[in-house]
Chains A and B, each alone.
Chain A
Amino acid sequence: MTIFRSLFVAVITASALIIPVACDAATTTTWNLMNIQKLEGWNTNNLTTVNLIPQGLAISTETQGQLVKVSDIKHHVDTISITYISPSGGQGVFFWRAPGMTEEEVYQIPMTFTQSTTQQKVILNMSKVSKWDARSDRIGFILNANTQLVLQEMSFSGPSILDNIIFPLKTYFKFDVPHAYSINFLWGPLMTYSQEQLDTMYSQVPPNGDSWNKAFYALLAAGLVLVFLLKKLFHKNSIVAFFMLVAALWLVYDLRMGSEFISFARTDVRTWWSKPLDLKDFRDRSSFTAFAQTAAAFTKDKENYVFIASHGWPFWGSMQYEAYPALPVSHEADTTGIDTWIIFNRRDITTNEEGRLVLNQEPISPPGDIMMNFQPGSFVFVTR
């Protein structure tokens, strides 16, 4: 009994020491090219000479050429270290072909190989590169002409095991805000693996994260396998338990998506319904909606007005809707007889001493007065 107790204490103690280290260690994939006998998965194109030597993959090229590896990295990568020796130094690009791209498409970033006869290391911080995707199936370099390089090692490091657990859970309840695309699709629960990725997740389209659905499907698949095994091995029908699992996952999913939808409404209340008109913001259109509603009053009983905004979509259509039945006209069209000019977010449009609107130092309107100054660059101008 004492032996078992000692063993138990030893295991617990060892685990307590090992687990934090294991969890804290970053996940790394290394492509070593030193002291190997055979080059596998690498392809070259248009490089003058390529030899495998004990120090690494020696390349000498008089023309621009390509070195590429078939990649199958299974984890997230935010740092890439490239170890090399380059007697000539040189310029090139690092490229990758992200999932969904066609054969001819790649993303690329420029890189420099420092001239030196000793080992050098370049570290690429890929967390700052929005298009980087560790799941890319081709990764490589384009080397400029007259480059000599011995590529020794490439290592791809990602977040630790602990990050891989904590961040996906944290990200589960990270909500999107309503966008024009929200009527067509919702990204749903996503997984990220680092604080930086979490902070910038929705700042790009598509968001920088993996779908949580894969975890749900994995759980459902595991449940189904278990049901099958229990039936086969123990003649036990556990299909009800499986549907309880489905129900539990459904509720968790509903909690996530329902909360996101409630957050949409809360944002509307906070930024639109509870604010006075001049402080109202509406979703991702900021103050435009409040401006359009205020400016629309100046188009009453008019057929047309001139509308100029910083962007065509969505402002043109929205202004047209708010001011209907008055219709917008571009300032480049014939504006004769139109007295109302609605300008949104165009600080480059001002009035001159004659009272005309001026764009690129050219007068674009007859003389008039600003009747409503909403914010810098956004106003209603009525000709005299």
Chain B
Amino acid sequence: MSYIWLPVGLLLPTVCGWLLLRLVEGTTPVLFTWERWIAGFVLGGIFTTYAIFLTEVTGIGSFSFLSMLVTQLVLLGILKRSAPTIHYPLSTIHSTPWKLWQKITTGILAAWFLAKLISGMIFVSGPAYFDDTISNWNLRAKAFYHHQELILEVIPGKGTGIGSYPQSVSLLKTWLMHLNGSWHEGLANSIHILWYLSALSLLFFALRRLMSLQWALLGTYVLSSVPLYLVHGSSAYGDCFLSVVIFLALSWVYFAATSKKAQRLSFIRLGAVAAGLLVYTKNEAILLHLPPLAVIIIGLLVIGGFSAKEKKATLLWYGSCVSAVLIPWITFKWMNNLAFGNAKDVSGLTLEWHEGVLRAIGLNTFWEGNWNLLPVLFFGLVIAQWRAAFRSPLIILTGFFFMVVIGQLPIYMFTSLYIEALNQTGYARGIIHLIPIVVFVSTVLLERMKREE
């Protein structure tokens, strides 16, 4: 019965997200109908919780049920007034006719996926089990729910390590618990499987914009069959959620680069909103993901063939959206002396070489069962199709991937965070964030290769 609060509770954040996206699309909608709803759910959850956070820290509101409700209703009212309601159906790339073997294969794989999805639902709805669920994501949600205010030192005397994380994931759970009236483990965890499904759906829509239905489904299947991504999609951790937001922020830049005129500007605005909200997902976003994204945006402005008007709009939108979240959030962190690392402060880290890190990374990437055959497929395709990977707009995604991965390596090799790589605790999560991008690039390159045959 408690699960009824999941759709009810997500209604307001999703509608707010949908209206926000419609608002920034303006008179040039570029998202598919369902794509907008799903992206609205993902980004709306961050947008509304960020607003709730702002009301709390400014003393206007709190984390009580009434305050959270009113904040969302006010947002809804503002967005409803502003967002255009005209709907423009979008055209998609026509699909090639289905062959019998394709139908049978799709049917079998869909049934197989359904079995895994049901297993995921069972897996995620059990008692809290993994360490960060217990010490961070759900514990903070419990703290916000019980105390109805922002608590940075959740366990007195234990410091503010986890308190330095953005509150979006935990606050959404708090909101659901308010609706339910008591803490319900399954309800608190169920939202994670929706983020997993969002990742699959948004990848599908992004691919569908470029290729036939069959190819888009193939790419979606590939993502669904990455084992560790499925585990994360079925666990109360924030990494799968972050991966969806990164994917939106990056893929919309990619589509801006491949579009023209009004559509390009629409995607730029969407990408800017996603980049801004990215700040309020996980700590890594500021340190690992925003800088390469900034490099890509600057690169796009320099060599992307943007007109002066487009350049101005891009700078304005990205500057405004990212600042709107980054400045208050960083100010808040500074004021409260919160860490800027991944729950571990990066400022005090000393540099020294740590042996065995590269071996552990190689083991995790190529010799364990985490990624199916995705690493060899991805690297193989990038090498085989290097022109397309690095000398076309696809470099936005491949470049981002390599910048983040190469950027992470020194952190593991030279700082005390090496232990996260050696024990394989942190490294794979950094890769989880990039998996939808990796699958997108792989599918685009594969389809291109097939077309060239």
Please list the residues of chain A having a beta carbon within 8 angstroms of any beta carbon in chain B: 100, 102, 178, 180-189, 211, 213-214, 216-217, 220, 237, 239-240, 243, 246, 249-250, 253-254, 256-258, 260-262, 264-266, 268-269, 272-273, 282-283, 285, 289, 293, 314, 317-318, 320-322, 324-325, 327
Contacts and interface: CB of A to CB of B under 8 A. Distances in A.
A14 B370 CA distance: 45
B313 interface: no
Contacts of A102: 355
B369 interface: yes
Contact of B368 (A185, A317, A318): A185
Nearest to A224: B380
5 contacts: A184-B423, A184-B425, A188-B367, A239-B453, A282-B127
B227 A188 contact: yes
B122 A178 contact: no
B446 A243 contact: yes
Nearest to A283: B129
Given A260-B227, A322-B128, 4 more contacts: A180-B130, A183-B131, A250-B222, A258-B225
A334 to B, nearest CB: 13
B139 A321 contact: yes
Contacts of A320: 134, 139, 155
Contacts, number: 153
Interface of A is mostly: helix
Interface size class of B (residues with CB under 8 A): 35 or more
Interface string B132-168: 1011001100110011000000011000000000000
A145 B221 CA distance: 65
A187 B364 CA distance: 9
B237 interface: yes
B366 interface: yes
Contacts of A266: 119
A249 B120 CA distance: 23
B357 to A, nearest CB: 13
B303 interface: no
A174 to B, nearest CB: 12
B409 interface: no
Given A250-B225, A325-B147, A318 B128 contact: yes
Sorted from nearest, which 3 A-B pairs have the closest CB atoms? Answer: A188-B369, A265-B119, A257-B227
Contacts of B118: 265
A209 to B, nearest CB: 11
Contacts of A181: 424
Contacts of B425: 184
A323 to B, nearest CB: 10
A197 B88 CA distance: 62
Given A268-B123, A320-B155, A324-B146, A184 B115 contact: no
B428 A184 contact: yes
Given A314-B131, A325-B143, A282 B126 contact: yes
B453 A237 contact: yes
A250 B226 CA distance: 10
A193 B364 CA distance: 23
B377 interface: yes
A322 B367 CA distance: 36
A185 B359 contact: no
Given A250-B225, A265-B120, A185 B370 contact: yes
Contacts of A283: 129
Contacts of A254: 112, 225, 372
Nearest to B119: A265
A186 B122 contact: no
B230 interface: yes
A186 B370 CA distance: 5
Contacts of A186: 227-228, 231, 368-370
Contact of B429 (A178, A184, A317, A324): A184
Contacts of A327: 155-156
Contact of A211 (B146, B227, B367): B367
A351 to B, nearest CB: 29
Contacts of A246: 373, 377
Contacts of B135: 317, 321
B373 A249 contact: yes
Nearest to A321: B134
Contact of B142 (A189, A211, A239, A321): A321
A18 to B, nearest CB: 36
A261 B127 contact: no
Contacts of B227: 186, 188, 257-258, 260-261
Contacts of B289: none
Contacts of A237: 453
Given A183-B235, A184-B428, A257 B369 contact: yes
B364 A185 contact: yes
Nearest to B138: A321
A184 B364 CA distance: 9
A272 B370 contact: no
Nearest to A262: B119
B449 interface: yes
Contacts of B453: 237, 239-240
Contacts of B138: 321
Nearest to B449: A239
Nearest to A320: B155
B120 to A, nearest CB: 7
A180 B130 CA distance: 6
